[in-house]
C-alpha cells in the first residue's frame, strides 16, 4: 500500500498559550505531583497539511493530585480537532495510575474522520497522472471510531505486566463511482471491524512515565489482531 507524501506542520502553541491552574499547592512542594488538589491545562492546536488544509483544535486536561501518586492520581483529557478540508480527530482519555495498589488503567476513545483520504496502491505519481484520475476518484471518505484500553500490573519492581487491546470499525465510501479503490479492490478497502489484543513483560525503571528524567523502558511484546 502506497501512501501519498504530504507536507504537514504542527504548532502546538503550548509555550505561549497553555493555561495552567493548580489548586492549593503546599508551599514546600517541589514537583506538581506533590501537591494536593486539581490542576488543568488547555493547549491550542494548529496544523497545516497539503492534503487536509489548516487544522484548528484544543486539547484540555484535568488532573487530580493526592500528594503521593506519580505523575497524578487521575487524569481526564479531551481533544477536539478539525481541518478546513474535512478531517476530524477527537479524543477522550482517562488515566488512573493507581486504580488499585500496583495497578494502572488507561482508556481512550478516539473518533477520526476524513472526507478526502488517499489510496494510490502501487502506482507512482506518473501512473496516477497517466490514468487521469480526478480528485474524487483518487480519494475516499472514512470514519474511524476506536476504543483502546491498557492495564498495567506491577509484579516485582522494576518488572511490570501490560495487557491491552483496541476495538475499531472503519466505514469507507469512495468519492466517485469509478475510483482507485474500485479498480484495485485492496484488502480492507470495504472497511469493517478490527480487534487487537496485546500483552508485554516490561522492565521499567523510569521515575515518571509521562515525563521521565531518569530510567529506561524495555518490553517484550506479543500482539494479535483480527479484522
Instruction: Quick: pLDDT tens for 102-148.
Output: 999 999 999 999 999 887 667 677 767 667 778 788 889 999 999 99
Percent residues over pLDDT 90 in the chain = 59
Kindly report the average pLDDT of the chain as a whole number. 85
Cα 161–166–171 angle (5° rounding)? 170
Residue 111 falls inside a structural domain: yes
pLDDT level of residue 10 (50, 70, 90 thresholds): low
Residue 45, C-alpha cell as written in the block:
492546536
> Could you give the residue ranges of the DSSP H alpha helices within 66-225?
125-131, 135-138, 180-184
User: Does residue 29 lie within any of the structural domains?
Assistant: yes
Lowest-pLDDT range, 20-24, 49-53, 99-103, 221-225? 20-24
In the block, which residue shows the cell 494502572? 104
Residue 77: domain span: 8-226
Q: Would you give the DSSP letter of residue 32?
A: G
pLDDT at 158: 94
pLDDT at position 3: 43
CA 167 from chain centre, in angstroms, equals: 14
What is the count of structural domains for the chain?
1
- Tell me whether residue 2 is in a domain: no
| Range from 70-79, 136-145, 154-163 carrying the lowest mean pLDDT | 136-145
pLDDT band at 211 (very low <50, low <70, confident <90, very high): confident
Quote the pLDDT of residue 64: 95
- The neighbouring-strand residues paired with 205 are none
pTM here is 0.78
pLDDT-derived band at 182 (thresholds 50, 70, 90) equals: confident
- Spatial distance between the Cα atoms of 82 and 64, rounded to a whole number of angstroms: 28
Domain-located, residue 149? yes
Which SS3 state, helix, strand or coil, does residue 34 take? helix
User: E-strand spans in the chain?
Assistant: 8-11, 19-22, 36-49, 53-66, 74-83, 87-100, 103-118, 139-154, 159-174, 192-204, 217-226
**Residue 81 to residue 88: CA distance in whole angstroms:** 6
**Does residue 1 lie within any of the structural domains?**
no
The confidence score (pLDDT) of residue 26 equals 46
Contact 125/138 with Cβ under 8 angstroms?
no
- What's 132's DSSP letter? T
Amino acid at each position: 500500500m502506497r501512501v501519498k507524501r504530504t507536507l504537514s506542520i504542527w504548532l502546538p502553541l503550548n509555550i505561549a498559550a497553555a493555561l495552567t491552574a493548580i489548586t492549593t499547592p503546599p508551599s514546600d512542594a517541589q514537583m506538581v505531583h506533590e501537591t494536593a488538589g486539581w490542576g488543568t491545562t488547555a493547549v491550542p492546536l494548529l496544523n497545516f497539511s497539503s492534503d487536509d488544509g489548516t487544522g484548528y483544535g484544543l486539547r484540555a486536561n484535568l488532573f487530580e493530585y493526592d500528594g503521593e501518586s506519580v505523575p497524578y492520581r487521575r487524569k481526564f483529557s479531551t481533544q477536539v480537532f478539525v481541518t478546513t478540508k474535512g478531517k476530524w480527530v477527537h479524543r477522550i482519555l482517562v488515566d488512573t495510575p493507581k486504580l488499585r495498589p500496583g495497578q494502572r488503567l488507561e482508556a481512550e476513545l478516539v473518533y477520526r474522520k476524513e472526507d478526502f483520504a488517499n489510496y494510490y496502491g502501487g502506482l507512482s505519481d506518473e501512473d496516477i497522472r497517466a490514468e487521469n484520475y480526478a480528485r474524487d476518484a483518487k480519494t475516499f471518505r472514512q470514519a474511524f471510531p476506536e476504543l483502546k484500553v491498557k492495564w498495567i500490573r506491577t509484579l516485582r519492581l522494576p518488572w511490570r505486566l501490560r495487557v491491552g487491546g483496541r476495538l475499531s470499525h472503519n466505514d469507507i465510501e469512495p468519492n466517485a463511482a469509478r475510483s482507485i479503490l474500485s479498480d484495485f479492490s485492496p484488502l480492507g478497502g470495504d472497511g469493517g471491524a478490527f480487534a487487537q489484543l496485546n500483552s508485554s513483560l516490561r522492565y521499567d525503571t523510569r521515575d515518571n512515565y509521562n515525563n521521565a528524567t531518569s530510567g529506561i523502558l524495555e518490553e517484550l511484546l506479543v500482539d494479535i489482531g483480527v479484522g
